[in-house]
Structure 1
């Protein structure tokens, strides 16, 4: 187990380093002068020169990469041209919205998908199974931003239960803040719950065909007892794998939903930075998102190893 974890951590570090190399290289492929692109053709020469020096454009590429990588390891992502503030501070402020939003969406997705998967497996080839299958097909085919618009029309415009957008801040209290995140979290969660419900159903049905499930039924256990006590724990590995992938997607995929609900999160900051041509902010956010995805994948590997204690060969 320790050797397996060591290999996974080494792979994690190597993947993160390759990601930084790729992101830096892509930024260098931007046509023309990045400083001129960010400031526009009307910028003064001394302003352009100052930004080129700030971005290290007057140094050789290897030195620029090493300097940027060293700053990244120290938590220094550069300074935003638009906001005139450290990018790390901007990202930290926006993560205070994006991470709770993603966590709440993941919680809602799991709370909806696992019971639906259990229902579909328990009612295999009956009305309950068909209803879950229909929800799965519908949820997969509907984008999260469209779900968000429907939720706004129903719960904000029609019923008036929730605000249509905005975020009061955590200083207003946990209750109002979570209420503001509930609708966007549901918009993110419903399509992911459709995927997770189908995966849960398939994993449970596969486990139900195993010898231990047949033995448990032969011993006189009820179908619900067999499903919950014997089958569900053994079917968790693929479910946890999909959960980990969804966690990474929910952090990086909140860009559109945050703009639909005008939430001041990381996705909205990225959208604004692209519109303002603030490449330093874009680069910093993309690096953070990639690192979060890599960490989520590493967490999935570790959780999978804990759920499946058989010797690991890879």
Structure 2
């Protein structure tokens, strides 16, 4: 089997993507797979059309790898690939659309409003912010509707900080999701498989001493303490696993995903993010979950790649 890893791209998460790609490439090689790694550039389509590639594993984080466009390209070229279809990826990538769909399926997610940057200019930013604050209260989470790795995310405690958070958010996209902050334990739930065969791996609890699980904390060791498996009762573990599986299956996700959940003080599992292309770096959450399940990385990665190759486009 010849697998091509796609990593890099032009998003803010390029470096993380390359680190993820290298880690997966090493594990697949150790499993006996012929592996190459390619960036998303002018040479990609010719490399795919030359033949000899049995399966592509996209590991691009950010828009180009998670908004469905790269998946659509692979479908057009006719090369099997790991991960969610282009149609399902487009839904999961847009946090506002994903929240609407989850609400339809009865999956808990924090109350939020979505606002474009253009509307702030048209009706007046201060009046908009006052109205948002009155509706949702504080604290709030402000983040881009389309984005990952906590880029552009702020936790806002007061009205005075809200404007600054909006400016920070709009630096990463023209649409902002302003969401009610939920207190509780953050549990990252990884899911592998597709449809009825999908299963949740043990949760990974994320504990930040300063309460900020931002980009730097995610990819530079030291600021975050991880517990794999998460410190949950049997009932809590079943709840977050069931919630992650419902998200994965109801949104037609495929092969692998990561669902980030806040288990709030009332025992409600609140979904705060969905990742169709989770990070695979040395500090990433999915590899930790795989380790907590007692599964060798190379064997699981081989199984994922082989399954995608045999499935076809």
Larger % of helix: which? 1
Bigger RCO (CA 8 Å, 6+ sep): 1
Larger % of strand: which? 2
Bigger-Rg structure (1/2): 1
Q: TM-score, normalised by structure 1?
A: 0.29
